[in-house]
Structure 1
Amino acid sequence: MFQRNKAMTITATLLLGGALLSACTKGEDTGAPTDGGSAGAQVVASASAGGAGCTLQSYGGTKIELKDAIVGFSQSEKEANPFRIAETQSIKDEAAKIGVKKLLVTNAQSQLSKQVSDIQDMLAQGAQFLIIAPLNSDGLEPALKAAADKKVPVLTIDRKVNATACKDYVAFLGSNFVEQGKRAADAMVKATGGKGKVAILLGSSGNNVTTDRTSGFVDQIKATAPGIEIVAQQTGEFARDKGQQVTEQLLLSNPGITAVYAENDEMALGAVTAIKGAGKKPGVDIKIVSIDGTRNAVEAITKGEINAVIESNPRFGPLAFATAQKFLGGESIPANVIISDREYDSANAAASLSSAY
């Protein structure tokens, strides 16, 4: 696996157990998972942030110790998805590990209005630092304003918000979703030999994850695989049942489909069921590449039903609290803090199954 160099980008390795950011260049990705017991996340200060980053002084917050603080975590979606389960547990585990005074945890149940009110309620309960997993890129403005008015720092994780870093929130922690799409495209080229007709199962609309994973994949296919034709794009809403339903429809309307790119594992697993129902072999007759890294999807690779999975690492606890500690201690935090993602295929799936979530 590799990560492409980006001009005018400042990179560093965030040592979760250390006290500083050591400068480095962006290069070979070892593929090691970034979990509660390992370092390996990358910090990327984008050119738009000017490399200066955000400090407690520029944000206007108050210096506090996390062990003396009330921290709020706002989860966006129902925890029927393995990613959300792992994400929430990682936050809880790390808060307990470092001895946060009190952790408030809410779940918006996939309702934007509830997430706004959840965040406002946590502020009313005295939250001094917020970690938010946004439901959508837009719509959280009232909650962000309420936090800003109280000078409560906010870290957003896994999805970006359309707002201004170091003003409306401190920083975004998450994957490089465009890069995930590009890596999925590379895996698709490998699985198909660079030829075929691909259907894309899009994630839910209204967030940057879907947009970026789509553009990364489409652009990379166009640039590297002229023999691959993208014949359909339809939302499966990041859900297994919807992914199955959409795949069934696509196979009827486009019987020549030879591959499916699913923007998360749940939709990919739904596609597996649909392909079997159509009397074809998933992973053989119709290649499948997806993004997430759930245990069920990695296990499907070992069965030959999915060809490759690009991980989207949900283990934000260590990274989120390490970033919070640095920020509250007066250190500069870049606008985008990128967590490292590994990759699974037939060569490593069996040996790596225990690393999946």
Structure 2
Amino acid sequence: MRKAYKSGAFTVLMSLMLLVAACGGNNGAATNDKANEPAKTTTTTTTDSGTTTDKKIVFGFSQVGAESGWRTANTTSIQESAKEAGFDLKFSDAQQKQENQIKAIRSFIQQKVDVIGFSPVVESGWDTVLKEAKDAGIPVILTDRSVDSTDTSLYVTFLGSDFVLEGEKAGEWLVDQYKDTTEQVNIVELQGTTGSAPAIDRKEGFEKIIKDHDNLKIIASQTGDFTRAKGKEVMQAFLKSNKDIDVLYAHNDDMALGAIQAIEAAGLKPGEDIKIITVDGIKDGFQAASEGKINFIVECNPLFGPQLMDTIKDVLAGKEVPKRTVTEEGTFTIEQAKEALPNRKY
């Protein structure tokens, strides 16, 4: 009898403890604390046995490549931010080839990652693989560059710069510089990778601004693939074919830096004999501007890694996110570049 009594008392005691714990978990204070917690960096899954477990958010990201200082800074920002957020990052370098990106995205789908992100090499040709991701229930986030798909449901959001606006800013500076002259101003243009969003949009924005100014004329335009080596090569060709070049508009700093080498080799002074407008704002570009070799820089901010990780958390938490998020960016003259150079992070 005594042994049975002890067993029954123990059972009653354990029941009371469980009841108290359950009530405590439902009080108002606990609910409010949970509402103020930051977004989780884990996802909850259900096993075959019916139990639930938390695991790290797995993020598959396909980068364009490492063609420029800007891209390197962008990659570092994403990698470091993913680590700080506690994500399991699956990273792939496409080496500027669309087929490599499509292969990487399909690999992410097979690995059943939680989210896919990528910066498209070109605008077109993504619908099939994006539909595969959608059918697999994996949200896709576009970064830096967008796609030209008419079905916007294939991706959740696009986080990046307004490339058309960047081109417009470049054009506005040029118009202002030559507002008091009617003489023809000969412009050569170093475009980005053919078919890429920044190349298309930066050209569109620039031409939109200068089209009503008859004295501003683009006399040559060719891709430099966003690289210094190609920028130098194409600028050499421009200088051989055109004896009177007043302005160079480069779609990124690296091409402009390569072009500067060609200009100097031709015995000309960059920034004086040929005014240079460029886009990006990498540290090497700021250095050239501080030396007077680049006249105007339109910033394109690559350090959006933290913003991307926050967006991923919101998407997985079921929160509504805007279809388009524009990064904050500025412009820099020679004097402004000199002032900002010591604190430039990339």
Partner of 2:188: 199
In structure 2, do the counterparts of structure 1 residues 193 and 267 end up closer, same or farther at CA, with 3 Å as the change threshold? farther
Name the SS of the counterpart of 2:120 in structure 1.
Answer: coil
TM-score normalized by structure 1? 0.77
Partner residue of 1:115 out of 82, 97, 101: 101
User: Larger Rg: 1 or 2?
Assistant: 2
> Structure 1 residue 143 and structure 2 residue 129: aligned?
yes
- Between 1:131-140 and 1:292-301, the stretch displaced more is 131-140
Note the aligned Cα RMSD (angstroms): 2.2
Q: CA deviation at 1:148?
A: 0.8
* Larger RCO, structures 1/2 (Cα 8 Å, 6+ apart): 1
Count of paired positions: 293
Q: Is 2:60–2:113's contact at 8 Å kept on the other side of the alignment?
A: yes
Q: CA deviation at 1:264?
A: 0.8
Partner of 2:16: none
Partner residue of 2:86 out of 92, 99, 103: 99
Q: CA deviation at 1:75?
A: 0.7
In structure 1, the gaps of 5 or more residues are 1-17, 20-64
Distance in structure 2 (CA, Å) of the matches to 1:111 and 1:226: 38
**Residue pairs, 1:40-59, within 5 angstroms:** none
In structure 2, the gaps of 5 or more residues are 1-36, 39-52
TM-score normalized by structure 2? 0.79
> Structure 1 residue 249 and structure 2 residue 249: aligned?
no
Partner of 1:262: 250
In structure 2, do the counterparts of structure 1 residues 289 and 142 end up closer, same or farther at CA, with 3 Å as the change threshold? same
Distance in structure 2 (CA, Å) of the matches to 1:229 and 1:142: 40
Identity of aligned residues (%): 35
Partner residue of 1:351 out of 319, 323, 339: 339
Which residue identity is paired with 1:213?
R
Q: CA deviation at 1:192?
A: 4.8
Q: CA deviation at 1:244?
A: 1.2
Which residue identity is paired with 1:127?
V
In structure 2, do the counterparts of structure 1 residues 67 and 95 end up closer, same or farther at CA, with 3 Å as the change threshold? farther
Partner residue of 1:157 out of 131, 134, 143: 143
> Structure 1 residue 171 and structure 2 residue 160: aligned?
no
In structure 2, do the counterparts of structure 1 residues 355 and 202 end up closer, same or farther at CA, with 3 Å as the change threshold? same
Name the SS of the counterpart of 1:152 in structure 2.
Answer: coil
Partner of 2:208: 219
Partner of 2:46: none
Partner residue of 1:290 out of 278, 281, 288: 278
Q: CA deviation at 1:182?
A: 0.5
Distance in structure 2 (CA, Å) of the matches to 1:156 and 1:213: 18
Q: CA deviation at 1:68?
A: 3.2
Partner of 2:70: 83
Partner residue of 2:170 out of 174, 181, 184: 184
Partner residue of 1:230 out of 218, 222, 236: 218
Partner of 2:329: 341
> Structure 1 residue 130 and structure 2 residue 119: aligned?
no
Name the SS of the counterpart of 2:298 in structure 1.
Answer: strand
Deviations along 1:45-103, whole A, 9 cap, x unmatched? xxxxxxxxxxxxxxxxxxxx9973111111122x2411111111111111122222x11
